Amino acid sequence: MSTDARLISPIAYIRTGFKNKFGIPRQSGRAKSLTGTVEFVPEWRCSDAIREIEGFSHLWLLFDFSEAHREKYSPTVRPPRLGGNRRVGVFASRSPFRPNSIGLSCVKLERVEQTADRGCVLVVSGVDLLDNTPIYDIKPYIPYADCVPDAVGGYADAAADHCLEVDFPEELLLKVPSEHREALVALIRDDPRPSYQDDPKREYTITYGGVETDFNISGGTATVYCVRPPRDTSEK
């Protein structure tokens, strides 16, 4: 057996508005206005490494499910959209709990920015990653090879069009920084609940855009009833 295997290490980290996992879209592109910045580690802050990347509209990010590391894994998982009771094979899912915690996300490249302290930074949209997620690799999305129009999505197809109506009173929406309003509404519309939760009295909170937004869900409508500054959870 060869012992020449190389350990992989992050080439970048992504900065997003998500400080905790609840509310993050289940798939990239579900909330197209969500943005993030891919910031390279010093070793890879080299403009040559991204030469001609701006010719591509979308990129694949290979990342580490850094908050889902486990010593053991199960060969089956329970996708939330299947009600939390039906098990499928881990390799028939996009669960973060995998033998190797590698994820794949397709994002839109908005632009490349040159910064004084971080080198070239990639501004991307349609993100679905936690803040400070390690990025192992970046590859261009190639439409003729990566797009399969007649592909079948298995059990995931049933949830493809699922979304909520969002009742977000204007006086509360105005408490959200203007640049984050569209994205926040999209996050709630995408229904962050596990599908087995259907209690109209249950309270949910998304922390995004510098505020905490409280809402509940009844039927197919999410009703926002409070927007406030994030609570200080640091130890006294």
CATH assignment of the domain containing 22 = 2.40.30.70
Residues 114 and 179 reside in one and the same domain: no
Whichever domain contains 205, its CATH number is 3.30.2310.20
In a domain, 235, yes or no: no
- Report pLDDT for 1: 40
What token pair was written down for 211? 């505020």
In a domain, 92, yes or no: no
Q: Please count the structural domains in the chain.
A: 2
Task: Identify the bridge partners of residue 104 per DSSP, sorted by sequence position.
Answer: 62
Residues 56 and 126 reside in one and the same domain: yes
Q: Tell how strand 221-228 and strand 165-167 pair up.
A: parallel
Residues 111 and 60 reside in one and the same domain: yes
Residues 130 and 108 reside in one and the same domain: yes
Residues 26 and 117 reside in one and the same domain: yes
- Report pLDDT for 95: 87
Residue 135 belongs to what domain range?
12-66+101-151
In a domain, 17, yes or no: yes
Residues 144 and 57 reside in one and the same domain: yes
Q: What DSSP string describes 47-105?
A: GGGGTTGGG-SEEEEEEE-TT---SS--SEE--GGGTTT--EEGGGS--S--SS-EEEE
Residues 130 and 19 reside in one and the same domain: yes
Residues 36 and 59 reside in one and the same domain: yes
Burial of 86 (0-12, 13-18, 19+ CB in 10 A): exposed
Residues 200 and 109 reside in one and the same domain: no
Given a contact cutoff of 8 angstroms between Cβ atoms, the answer to whether 133 and 13 are in contact is yes
pLDDT of the chain along its 236 residues, tens only?
Answer: 444 556 889 999 999 989 888 888 888 888 898 999 999 999 999 999 999 999 999 999 999 998 888 888 889 988 777 766 789 999 998 888 898 999 999 999 999 999 999 999 999 999 999 999 999 999 999 999 999 999 998 888 877 788 899 999 999 999 999 999 999 999 999 998 876 777 889 999 999 989 999 999 998 999 999 999 987 655 43
Residues 146 and 167 reside in one and the same domain: no
In a domain, 94, yes or no: no
In a domain, 123, yes or no: yes
Residues 142 and 172 reside in one and the same domain: no
